[in-house]
Structure 1
Amino acid sequence: MGNGWEESAEAWIADMGEHGDFTRRFVLDPVMTGRIAGRGFATALDVGCGEGRFCRMLRRHGIRPVGIDPTAALLRRARALDPGGDYREGRAEQLPFEAGAFDLVVSYLTLIDIPDLDAAVAEMARVLRPGGTLLIANLASFVTANGEEAHWVRDDAGRPLHFPVDRYLEERTYWTSWRGIRIHNRHRPLGRYMAALLGQGLILSFFAEPDAVAGADPDAAARYRRAPYCLVMEWTKPG
């Protein structure tokens, strides 16, 4: 059974547009770009680059990125939008690069898509140079815990009351659907991610659960204050 990405590629491209969805533009991008600006990174690998949006942002910060993704349709879109970019087909669990090849490795909302977390994290750590940085944005495990049932519980007037969390410690794969997109996501408790990263000897140097930035639509922003939705982590490979 497929994971839905090939079938959902065109809908994904339409939904992301040039600048990404609300979560990326107003919640994660400000933190992610803040972690790369002025840091002296020369080379980067974007694992699960999709249509290349964050690779283009890396290039605007003077970093030479390589994007890798298993979905051919998304890579075609990335190359069309960024003809000078370097986009390659491949999987996170078996990265086709030498050890220590990159100053920076990015996983931007992709750990929830990857079947073999341990293999992928090991590969990301392997291709980092000593002293290099692994920068991760991910959905919070509180959000993915309810899987396909994840939604606000509302009152009779439609006002959101609370966001349920259930089966938190049970790792599982589920289908998630929105605006013509239907793909696999994976729920793992936060401790599972931490164990995989710590198991590679990486050192946590930054952690944030970002709010929406000022100027974002206030109704859309409110949910990021009421329930933990995203996290950003930075890990360093010992030098």
Structure 2
Amino acid sequence: MDNGWEASAGPWIESLGAAGDFGREHVLDAPMLARVGHGRFERMLDVGCGEGRFCRMTAPRVRERVGIDPTRALLDAARARDPEGRYIEARAEALPFADASFDLVVSYLSLIDIPDIDAAIPEMARVLAPGGTLLVANLNPFATAAVPDHRITDAAGRDQLVVDRYFDERGAWTAWRGIRIVNYHRPLSRYMNAFLAAGLQLTAFEEPQPSGGDPARVARYSAAPWFHLMAWGRPVP
């Protein structure tokens, strides 16, 4: 399936720049890195690593970092920027690793790009070692269920987020700054039940707020939690 990523790789890399977009830089990076810690994990897999940004950020914290992505142009950029990292062309639905290969598996805003989470989430759980952590950052489903223009101004002049068809799972094309890709909307219960069915246990759930950045953007991202962060553990037998 053409999901638009090959054609969008160049604009995506240019759009993120060195620091990343607002949501990554000012909302998600700090709590994600806090969960990774320093020296807590030996071997990390970044599922949907893109141009390798989070792999590079965790270089001082994790001894071995592996990133997978199905988009060659993004992997080329990751390898060029991080020669010491290991980047492999692969899909989340069929990870080319042995069982229990990693003590940390990361999905940083990649679940919304994965067509088949019923295959991908069990694969993430399979390669996770007992006692390990699956760390997930995702868009909140009410954000992915928002109508195309996202917001309207109500009769009182207030800015309102507009959500529709929350319970209807679907993929839809979305476009901005020269990027045009397919994102998937699923209700939160859909994700939660998939993780539970994979035998994982929820150990943390956060809805992080912005820290720093342009005040207008901070206000927009503070009106309601745009993202959530989850940590799931694989129990030790």
The TM-score with structure 2 as length reference comes to 0.96
Q: CA deviation at 1:6?
A: 0.3
Is 1:123 the counterpart of 2:123? The answer is: yes
Residue of structure 1 equivalent to 2:10: 10
Distance 2:57 2:225 in 1: 25
Residue of structure 1 equivalent to 2:213: 216
What's the CA shift string for 1:78-127, capped at 9, x where partnerless?
01101111000000000000000001000000000000001100000000
Residues 142, 228 of structure 1: 8 Å contact kept: no
Distance 1:136 1:105 in 2: 8
What's the CA shift string for 1:47-86, capped at 9, x where partnerless?
0000000000111213311000000000000011011110
**Alpha carbon RMSD of aligned pairs, Å?**
1.5
- Which residue identity does 2:153 align to in structure 1? R
Residue of structure 1 equivalent to 2:108: 108
What's the CA shift string for 1:20-43, capped at 9, x where partnerless?
111000000011001011361000
Residue of structure 1 equivalent to 2:152: 153
Alignment of 1:1-239 (within 5 A): 1-38=1-38, 40-146=40-146, 149-154=148-153, 161-213=159-211, 215-239=212-236
Q: How many residues align?
A: 236
Q: Secondary structure at the match of 1:216?
A: coil
Distance 1:217 1:182 in 2: 25
What's the CA shift string for 1:185-226, capped at 9, x where partnerless?
00000000000000011110000111001x321110112221
Residues 58, 64 of structure 1: 8 Å contact kept: no
Percent of aligned pairs with the same amino acid? 57
Distance 2:27 2:114 in 1: 22
The TM-score with structure 1 as length reference comes to 0.95
> 36-45 vs 105-114, which deviates more?
36-45
Distance 1:92 1:129 in 2: 17
Distance 2:155 2:12 in 1: 32
Structure 1 spans left out of the alignment, 5+ residues: none
Structure 2 spans left out of the alignment, 5+ residues: none
Distance 1:192 1:229 in 2: 18
